[in-house]
Amino acid sequence: MAEAQAIRFVPVGLADLDTLVAIESAAYPFPWSRGNFIDSLNAGYLARKRVDGGGQWLGYFIAMPGVQEVHLLNLTVAPPHQGHGHARAMLDELVRESRALGAQRLWLEVRTSNQRAQQLYRRYGFRDVGLRRGYYPAGTLARENAIVMSLLLSGDAAAPAPHAVD
């Protein structure tokens, strides 16, 4: 129980690049590049790592605030820590911070092949609102579609999300 209480969120900085790249590369066949992380951090996007009491990384998220909305760009749980509720806890933190910024809606894209993430997002309350064709790299000259999902953070939970087009 003491270990769970020691888990916390800490801002991610440029000094964390090596760890970000290592976890990202271990977690995905098509990871973000070092440059993607540098650009996001230099732009001042929301970037938080989830760490345990000993400072070990459990995961991280990066999100881009906009006008009354936030776009989740990357949410990754370190492979040894997957399946222990860290992704949901990171979504909780992202929602809390997004609301504090005055965001009314949270957006994300997820690979059509990533059924596990889709299930997590849908259980959390995200709705499918569109499809981006050929959004993700999927190997030599191949591309994979992305499902666009949205979560209403305030107002009428039954209100339909704006439609995202290809």
Helix (H, G, I), strand (E, B) or coil at 140: coil
Helix (H, G, I), strand (E, B) or coil at 155: coil
Q: Cβ of 40: how many Cβ atoms within 10 Å?
A: 20
CB 149 within 8 A of CB 163: no
Helix (H, G, I), strand (E, B) or coil at 132: strand
- Could you tell me the pTM of the whole model? 0.89
Helix (H, G, I), strand (E, B) or coil at 63: strand
Half-sphere exposure of 40 (CA within 13 A, CB side): 25
CB 120 within 8 A of CB 84: no
Q: How many Å is the maximal CA-CA distance in the chain?
A: 49
Residues of the chain whose pLDDT is less than 50? 1, 157-166
